[in-house]
Amino acid sequence: MRLLQHLLQESAEHRPDATAIVDAALTISFEKLETQTNRMARLLRDRGLQSLDRVGVMAPKSIETVAAFIAVLKAGGTYVPLDPAGPAPRVSRMIDVAGCRLVLVSPEAEPVLAQSESNLEPVVALGALRLEDMLIEAASFPGEPLDVTTGPNDPAHILFTSGSTGLPKGVIVTHANVKAFIDWANPYFARGPKDRVSGHSPLQFDLSTYDIFGSLAAGAELHLVPPRLNLFPKDLPAFIRDRRLTQWFSAPSVLAYMARFEAVAQGDFPELRELLWCGEVFAVPALRYWMVRLPHVRFTNLYGPTEATIASTFFTLDAVPEDDRQTTPIGKACVGEEVAIVSEQGMVAGQGERGEICIAGVGVTKGYWRDDERTAKAFPPVAPGMRTQGRMYRTGDLGFVDPSGNLRYAGRADTQIKSRGHRIELGEIEVAINSIPEVAEAVILALPVDDFAGTEIVCIYSAVDGQALNDTLLRRELAKLVPRYMLPARYEQRPKLPLNSNGKIDRVQLRAELQAAGVEAR
């Protein structure tokens, strides 16, 4: 079996001059990308990088950042995408947890790296290398492909997800995991050389791995979407029009945002064929807005956590939903995957019976980097009655199979939430907020809102006696510890938080109070 970098190599052989990637500033052909990444990989080997070494890449979404990912793979390494916006303590923990020996960094991200107190793997720390210097240095190396000893079951990348104990978890995704998804998805979406596809997801999230490697495999053009276009609702539709995109893939929150401000015209984006979303529920009123305006487009809901690679189930709508209260099924398993509802007794549930959504098959990753305990817990042997051998991933999502045989999502079993496509453990925010010295007590609650964001994060806290603390100060301190998408939208200071009969903070009461006060109905 081939490795992910071979998808590029083949497209470079078949259509060397075709455009591979377009970013805000530049365009690169398959052949140029192939030789450029070979040179960069040789430079990495020359620097002392060895097979299976982890390399952090901390740079904004651009051609050179994607090239750096591919170069790491070609050098036999595993890339670890890191958010160039920080915050520094979180990025620093990720570098440590992944045991990176080298971090490739862009000028924008250098201050964040400088602030972080991470220890690069002590064996032979290769330190930090500026991406722009790397490109210059790499020019003196030959552009021919390298021989590496890595195989399809070796890690391609480590992607971090929010962890309930405050420490992000690094999911180890192999070449074979990603390749298996592409083998299902590219034929299903008929992704080919004539396509122009979006690269909307941030590069730290696994949707981006289908954007990148799915388009390289197809010989399609990948159009990296600058994150600043997410701010004003007119900007993304203008991008889709200007680039004449044929396929769009994102979290549904940005689509709902465009719908909220009515930014899509009737019959807009005439060349768009496929629109797919993943990561959270696409509210039906917004979905219907899109489907009514774009009758020429096929709409597909994908479902699946990072631990089982990109997506594990799919549902293509055959008609515009009639009822706002209707929910969209998450559908059926992608080829090579088995998705089962498992009861509390650990058995495959009967039709209609609720249970935990569990995933087995080609997408199941190796688990969490250097965390055997959590890996064993989340990736047990398959439940009796499943046809796949080996391990499964317990998603923590609840679901059931409806009478038509489609899987349906029915909420979470724990305190993980989705906000604007980001997966967030409320526990991670609570751990961060409770580490602020001025905070006496704090709870984080997620309330459903009738809005494009779907869920609003609310913080209720009390201050240590004698400390001057207010919402603004608290937000500023918290922003140093967690990424912006985890920051609560609302804050409420109280002299003391209510306790329940077990002596714990009474979340049920607080939630009821907030809902009664109409935060939800805002």
Smallest separation (angstroms) from another protein to the CB of 428: 18
- Residue 296 within binding range of another protein, rule CB under 8 A: no
Pick one of 14, 234, 244, 296: the residue that binds another protein (CB under 8 A).
234
Element (H, E) at 460: strand 455-463
Q: Which of 169, 196, 420, 511 binds another protein (CB under 8 A)?
A: 420
Residues present in the chain in total: 522
CB 158 → another protein: shortest distance, Å? 26
Q: Could you tell me the smallest distance in angstroms from the CB atom of residue 491 to another protein?
A: 6
Q: How far is the CB of 487 from another protein (least distance, A)?
A: 9
Give the integer Cα–Cα distance in Å for 332 and 310.
15
Within a 10 A sphere around the Cβ of 274, how many other Cβ atoms?
Answer: 20
Query: What track of x and - describes contact with another protein for positions 210 through 229 (by CB under 8 A)?
Result: ------------------x-
- For another protein, give the closer residue by CB, 167 or 442: 442
Cis peptide before 87 (omega within 30 of 0): yes
* Binds another protein by CB under 8 A, chosen from 451, 506, 513, 520: 451
Rounded to the nearest whole angstrom, what is the least distance from the CB of residue 479 to another protein in the complex?
Answer: 9
Q: Which is nearer to another protein, 164 or 230 (CB)?
A: 230
**Between 13 and 262, CB nearer to another protein:** 262
Q: Which SS3 state, helix, strand or coil, does residue 207 take? A: helix
Q: Quick one: CA torsion of 277, 278, 281, 286, rounded to 10 degrees?
A: -10
Region binding another protein by CB under 8 A among candidate stretches 20-28, 331-339, 398-406, 469-477: 469-477
* Among 184, 189, 257, 315, interactor with another protein by CB under 8 A: 257
Cα separation, 428 vs 419, in Å, equals 14
Nearest approach in angstroms of CB 472 to another protein is 5
Span interacting with another protein, options 50-58, 106-114, 320-328, 471-479, rule CB under 8 A: 471-479
Q: What is the per-residue DSSP string for 20-78?
A: EEE-SS-EEEHHHHHHHHHHHHHHHHHTT--TT-EEEEE--SSHHHHHHHHHHHHTT-E
Contacts of 137 (CB under 8 A, 6+ apart): 43
Q: How far is the CB of 132 from another protein (least distance, A)?
A: 21
Structure tokens at 367: 């688990």
Residue from the set 128, 263, 320, 410 that interacts with another protein by CB under 8 A: 263
Q: Judged by CB under 8 A, how many residues of this single chain contact another protein? A: 28
CB of 492 to another protein, least distance (A): 11
| Nearest C-alpha neighbor of 443 from the set 407, 404, 493, 481 | 493
Q: Which is nearer to another protein, 158 or 429 (CB)?
A: 429
> Which of the ranges 176-184, 207-215, 291-299, 473-481 carries the binding residues for another protein, by CB under 8 A?
473-481
Binding flag, residue 96, another protein (CB under 8 A): no
By CB under 8 A, tell whether 266 contacts another protein.
Answer: no
Q: Provide the minimum distance between the beta carbon of 456 and another protein in the complex, in angstroms, as a whole number.
A: 9
Residue type, 72: V
135 binds another protein (CB under 8 A): no
- Whether 108 and 59 have beta carbons less than 8 Å apart is answered as yes
Of 87 and 99, nearer to another protein (C-beta) is 87
**Of residues 482-521, those binding another protein (CB under 8 A):** 484-485, 489-491
**Site for another protein (CB under 8 A): which residue of 29, 50, 164, 230?**
230
Tell me how far apart the alpha carbons of residues 373 and 486 are, in angstroms, rounded to a whole number: 26
Is the CB of 303 or the CB of 461 nearer to another protein? 461
Q: 257 vs 400, which CB is nearer to another protein?
A: 257
Those residues with Cβ within 8 angstroms of residue 517's Cβ, 6 or more apart along the chain or in another chain: none
472 binds another protein (CB under 8 A): yes
Cα distances from 436 to residues 393, 479, 485, 491, in angstroms, run: 34, 11, 19, 15
453 binds another protein (CB under 8 A): yes
60 backbone dihedrals φ, ψ, rounded to 5°: -65, 165
Joined together, the tokens standing for residue 35 give 């030789």
Which of 18, 22, 24, 85 contacts another protein by CB under 8 A? 85
Q: How far is the CB of 376 from another protein (least distance, A)?
A: 37
Contacts for 95 with CB less than 8 Å, ≥ 6 apart: 56, 80, 82, 103, 116, 118, 120
Helices (H), ranges, 127-262: 131-138, 175-188, 207-218, 235-242, 252-260
- Burial class, 456, CB count within 10 angstroms (exposed 0-12 / middle 13-18 / buried 19+): buried
Smallest separation (angstroms) from another protein to the CB of 251: 12
C-beta closer to another protein: residue 4 or 486: 486
CA distance 393 to 365: 8
Contacts of 315 (CB under 8 A, 6+ apart): 300, 301, 303, 328, 329, 330, 331, 332, 406
- At position 16, the amino acid (one-letter code) is P
Q: Does 452 bind another protein (CB under 8 A)?
A: yes
Q: Which residues bind another protein (CB under 8 A)?
A: 85, 228, 230-234, 254, 257, 260-263, 420, 451-453, 471-472, 474-476, 484-485, 489-491, 522
